[in-house]
Every structure is written in C-alpha cells, then in structure tokens.
Amino acid sequence: MNGKTILIVDDERDILELLRYNLVKNGYKVISAMTGEEALRLASQTPPGLVVLDLMLPGMDGLEVCRALKANRELADVPIIMLSAKGEEADIVTGLELGAHDYVCKPFSPRVLVARIRACLRHHNRRPEPENEIVRHEGLLIDPVRHEVRLDDQPLELTYTEFRVLHFLASRPSWVFTRNQIIDAVHGDKYAVTERSVDVQIVGLRKKLGAYGDCIETVRGVGYRFREP
C-alpha cells in the first residue's frame, strides 16, 4: 500500500474535484471513482493508503464496497473514512462494525477531512500498541501491567471494566468505536451485556477523570472516541 495515495469514491464530480485539489495541495496522490465497482477495480490495481468512501453510491453502495474491501486479503488493512449524510446513523454504525475507521458528515470542511485523513494514516502506520505498553496523554498515564491510572501524577481508582474501556480507547486515539466494538474489546464477543452498559461506564469514567473527562468524546448516534488532550 502507498500511504500517500488516497482513493476517493463519490458519485458527485464537484466533491471529487474539491477533495482532489485539497489533497494534492497537501502532498497526496489521488485516484478517484464514481461507482463502487470502479473503486474495487482501482483498489485492486493500485492498493491505496486510505479510502474516502461515500455511502450513497449508484449500484453497489458504500457499505457493500466496505465489505468487499475488508474481505480482500490484500486490501483488508486499508483504512476507510466514510462520507455520510447526517441522517444515515444506522449505516455509519454498520460501516464501523464492518471495519471502517472513521466517518465525516456531509456537508464537510475539506480542511477537517484532510486533518482526519492525516490522523488516520498516522495512527494506522505507527507500530501496533502492545497490550502491556504504558499509554500517556499529557497528564494522563495508563499502565496496563500495574493496572494503574494516574492523573497529573495522582492515582485514580477505577473499576476493572472502567480501566479496560479507558485503556482500549486511549491506546487508539481519534478512532471511532461503536458500543458493540467496545464491548467485544473489553469482554469478548460472547459476553452478554447491553450497549447501555457502555454508556454507564463512560459516565462513570468522565466523572473520575475530571478535567480529562472531555477526552472521551461522544460521536452522536455511533459511539465514542478518545480525543487527545
């Protein structure tokens, strides 16, 4: 994969040209497609570093494209940022659960989208976080070996589940996760618990984190992400 090559998939030519202009200006190479079928063909020929994928496409829609990319061994690791109309919350959740990394609502700021692309590539391309590696974000320190969290060098008392949720999110900053993905990561995919329990854990975490509580950001209609302080 070429981390500097971005595949844009959208059936609106104006959006393709707008994104091409802004991405090229920021040093990226751009390939584009107006249909899902064309996108898969181009991705197979030239595996991109990242895909910007519109959900509403003629014929094969964005979710089908996402599913096909993740089913392809050579393309499964390519990060995907979805473009979505605000009313497509259920589709956003489905896309994230299929393996997309982030989403941006239309209408959008090109500068914000370029920043999201840069952040997604940065986190995707850095070496994977070992499960036992200490996570630091300014005054927040999470030590999974000692099962310890410190805020501005002061110990913070968390439950086992609160600790696991915080460590999972903080070790993957800026990535959006659905409630089901958080449950699977913390408890395993066979654990019988409702999505509402994640909301309860997040409320408790925010209270205990105090000034750092805003780092856990609610993504409306989707789930949560950790925003670096």
pLDDT in tens, 57-105: 999 999 999 999 988 888 988 999 999 886 677 888 888 878 788 888 8
76: CB partners within 8 A, 6+ apart: 69, 70, 99
The answer to whether the pTM exceeds 0.75 is no
- Domain with 148 in it: 135-226
State the CATH number of the domain containing residue 17: 3.40.50.2300
> Are residues 104 and 34 part of one domain?
yes
Q: Write the single-letter amino acid at 169.
A: L
Give the whole-angstrom CA distance, residue 61 versus residue 35. 8
State the CATH number of the domain containing residue 217: 1.10.10.10
Give the whole-angstrom CA distance, residue 165 versus residue 51. 28
Supply the pLDDT for residue 124.
Answer: 72
Supply the pLDDT for residue 13.
Answer: 94
> Are residues 13 and 92 part of one domain?
yes
What percent helix, strand, coil does the chain show, rounded to 5? 45, 25, 30
> Under a CB-based contact definition with an 8 Å cutoff, are residues 201 and 162 in contact?
yes
Q: Which of 125, 155, 173 represents a domain boundary (last residue)?
A: 125
Q: Which of 68, 93, 125 represents a domain boundary (last residue)?
A: 125
| HEC-encoded secondary structure of 25-76 | HCCCEEEEECCHHHHHHHHHHCCEEEEEEECCCCCCCHHHHHHHHHHCCCCC
Q: Which residue positions in the chain have pLDDT lower than 70?
A: 1-3, 86-87, 125-131, 187-194, 229
